[in-house]
Amino acid sequence: MASRRRMLLKGCWSEFANALFMKCLLLRDLWQGWEDFSDESVSCNVQLKYVNRKFSNQYKATIGADFLTKEVQFEDRLFTLQIWDTAGQERFQSLGVAFYRGADCCVLVYDVNVMKSFDNLNNWREEFLIQASPSDPENFPFVVLGNKIDVDGGNSRVVSEKKAKAWCASKGNIPYFETSAKEGFNVEAAFQCIAKNALKNEPEEEICSQWIYLKVLRSTLEASSVID
């Protein structure tokens, strides 16, 4: 029976998608002194130049999370990143598993000027692995961002790049980026890396042969109707 027949596809699956979509969690502390910035969070700062943010403040107030959309071009493919930012709030805990469910990648952010925020990276990572319980935790695509390197010309910095990189290395070589969200420094590179890692991590999908058939049928027709 063909209906019982299933196909395992690696890589092939994404060929069906014109554009790839990723759910991306942004985990961080609600830092002290955050208010120094003209905007209130990393994501908001990122947004000023890079991310398309809308109505975020209303969302955050009620649900405890902020949602952003970012498009990234990687090689010849367009990625849409759906960024879930808790803004370090406790309230997002009310979303529980739903917040973590189906995440394709996880961005851990700390403030290079605040030691506590760096110490907490471990907690955020552990929490993520418990709640999201990814099928392959060893290879789940994390990215660490050391943010606010621009503050006070770098004089108030307390977490060294070396220390941060050592921690990342100990956790399975998590890619590390130093960013200045305010100035947009290195942010694009970080998102590129996120897209690249998430693509590598793409799992094998078990797919009905009928789905493939339907998909081929449709794409052929789309093509033929263009010709017409």
Partner 1 sequence: MSSDLSSSTSGDDPADPNHDSAPKTLEDQFASVALNVPENDAPASQESLNGVANGSLTDNNHRTEIESNERQGTAGGAEERIESNLEVEEVRESVERSVVWTRTISELEVEGPSSPSSSGYAGERGSTSASSGGSGIDGMGEDEIQEVRNDGSIDGVSDSPASWVPGKRHLDEDDASISWRKRKKHFFILSNSGKPIYSRYGDEHKLAGFSATLQAIISFVENGGDRVKLVRAGKHQVVFLVKGPIYLVCISCTEEPYESLRGQLELIYGQMILILTKSVNRCFEKNPKFDMTPLLGGTDVVFSSLIHSFSWDPATFLHAYTCLPLAYATRQAAGAILQDVADSGVLFAILMCKHKVVSLVGAQKASLHPDDMLLLANFVMSSESFRQATLTMLSLMSCFDDNFTSTSESFSPICLPRYNPMAFLYAYVHYFDVDTYLMLLTTSSDAFYHLKDCRIRIEMVLLKSNVLSEVQRSMLDGGMHVEDLPMDPSPRSGYLSPHLGQPRDSPERFRESYVGIGGPAGLWHFIYRSIFLDQYVSSELSPPINGPRQQKRLYRAYQKLYASMHDRGIGPHKTQFRRDENYVLLCWVTPDFELYAAFDPLADKALAIKTCNRVSQWVKDVENEIFLLGASPFSW
Where do the H-state alpha helices sit in 173-208?
187-200
Decide if 51 contacts 64 (C-beta within 8 A): no
User: Applying CB under 8 A, does 9 fall inside the site for partner 1?
Assistant: no
Query: Residue 104 burial (CB < 10 Å; 0-12/13-18/19+)?
Result: buried
HSE-up of 28 (CA within 13 Å, CB side)?
27
CB of residue 120 to partner 1, shortest distance in Å: 23
* Listed residue (89, 88, 113, 108) closest to 167, CA to CA: 108
**Is 176 buried (19+), middle (13-18) or exposed (0-12) by CB count in 10 A?**
buried
Region 71-90 residues binding partner 1, contact defined as CB under 8 A? 71, 80-82, 84
**In the window 175-214, what residues touch partner 1 (CB under 8 A)?**
203, 205-214
Find tokens 């979509």 and name the residue: 21
Taking the complex as a whole, the smallest distance from the CB of residue 190 to partner 1 amounts, in Å, to 18
The only residue of 26, 103, 181, 187 in contact with partner 1, by rule CB under 8 A: 103
Residue range at the interface with partner 1 (CB under 8 A); choices 36-44, 68-76, 149-157, 176-184: 68-76
Instruction: List the x/- string, 10-39, binding to partner 1 by CB under 8 A.
Output: ---xx-xxxxxx-x----------------
Q: Give the residue, chosen from 8, 30, 98, 115, that forms a contact with partner 1 under the rule CB under 8 A.
A: 98
User: Does 130 sit near partner 1 (CB under 8 A)?
Assistant: no
- Nearest-approach distance from CB 164 to partner 1, in angstroms: 28
- 2 binds partner 1, rule: CB under 8 A: yes
Size of the site for partner 1 (CB under 8 A): 59
- Chain centroid, CA 96 distance in Å: 18
Which residues, at least 6 apart from 183, have a Cβ–Cβ distance to it below 8 Å?
150
Q: Kindly list the distances between the CA atom of residue 185 and the CA atoms of 25, 67, 166, 182, in Å, as whole numbers in the listed order.
A: 20, 22, 22, 8
Considering the complex, state which of residue 150 and residue 205 has its C-beta at the smaller distance from partner 1: 205
In the window 46-65, what residues touch partner 1 (CB under 8 A)? 52-55, 59, 63, 65
Binding region for partner 1 (CB under 8 A):
1-3, 13-14, 16-21, 23, 52-55, 59, 63, 65, 67-69, 71, 80-82, 84, 94-96, 98-99, 101-104, 135, 203, 205-225
